[in-house]
């Protein structure tokens, strides 16, 4: 059976595009036939034997004739959302890019153009929106709800029943405790431990750890009540 043709939007092989290309190269379903990138130095170049075309917003109907699916390999959440919305108006289809080592529950639901990296874990009854990035070794625990164009960096972890609204960014090794709500566009810095809801567009940096003399699950009534 012939492979479906795929265009990768973003051509930084030292960035997300390189990871995406590597994963698609492992599979038998898609053949990468084109990169799109607005960087002037890359326009017209050949990467991995594949041509680089200019800005995706200049795509033509002729381009669509030779491309079955797209995948947006750009780290910027807003840029991914804008490109996705633009191409959807033209009827584009988006491929999910999932590393074979990722562990994904059969009850998890995901949208279009999702990236799930090596050794990532997505547990039961998770919902993932469109064009999200779940990077290497990230852990999304059970019953999470993840909006569109969210990025979860390597080793970041969410507890059960967490809600991540659209455009949220979780930094490397950040931790979101169970039952929390992270508002639209919030930025969680690397290594941060989030113990309370985060309003939209807030930036959270630093570690919230404090000294305790007894078990935090006994000490904190709100947590204890959730465990009953």
Active site residues: 142
33 and 5 in contact (C-beta within 8 Å)?
Answer: yes
Residue with tokens 């019953």: 143
**CB-hemisphere CA count at 13 Å for 202?**
13
Sheet with 151-152, strands from edge to edge, namely 97-98, 115-116, 133-134, 151-152, 169-170, 187-188, 203-204
For 174, counting Cβ atoms within 10 Å of its Cβ (0-12 exposed, 13-18 middle, 19+ buried), the class is buried
85 and 60 in contact (C-beta within 8 Å)?
Answer: no
Cα(201)–Cα(183) distance, integer angstroms:
7
Question: How many residues make up the chain in this entry?
Answer: 228
Q: Coil, helix or strand for 31?
A: strand
In the 8-state DSSP scheme, what is residue 121?
A: E
């Amino acid at each position: 059976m012939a492979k479906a043709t795929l265009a990768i939007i973003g051509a930084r092989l030292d960035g997300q595009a390189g990871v995406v290309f590597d994963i698609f190269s492992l599979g038998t379903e898609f053949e990468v036939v084109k990169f799109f990138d607005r960087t002037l130095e890359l326009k017209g170049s050949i990467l991995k034997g594949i041509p680089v075309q200019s800005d995706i917003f200049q795509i033509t109907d002729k381009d669509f004739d030779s491309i079955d699916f797209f995948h947006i390999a750009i780290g910027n959440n807003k840029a991914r959302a804008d490109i996705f919305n633009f191409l959807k108006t033209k009827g584009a289809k988006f491929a999910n890019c999932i590393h074979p080592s990722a562990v994904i529950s059969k009850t998890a639901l995901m949208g279009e153009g999702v990236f799930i990296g090596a050794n990532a874990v997505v547990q039961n009854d998770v919902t993932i929106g469109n064009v999200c990035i779940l990077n290497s070794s990230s852990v999304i625990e059970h019953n999470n709800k993840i909006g569109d164009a969210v990025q979860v960096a390597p080793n970041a972890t969410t507890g059960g029943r967490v809600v991540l609204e659209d455009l949220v960014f979780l930094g490397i090794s950040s931790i979101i405790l169970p039952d929390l709500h992270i508002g639209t566009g919030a930025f969680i810095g690397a290594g941060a431990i989030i113990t309370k809801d985060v309003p939209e567009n807030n930036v959270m940096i630093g570690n919230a750890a404090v000294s305790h003399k007894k078990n935090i699950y006994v000490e904190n009534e709100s947590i204890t009540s959730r465990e009953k």
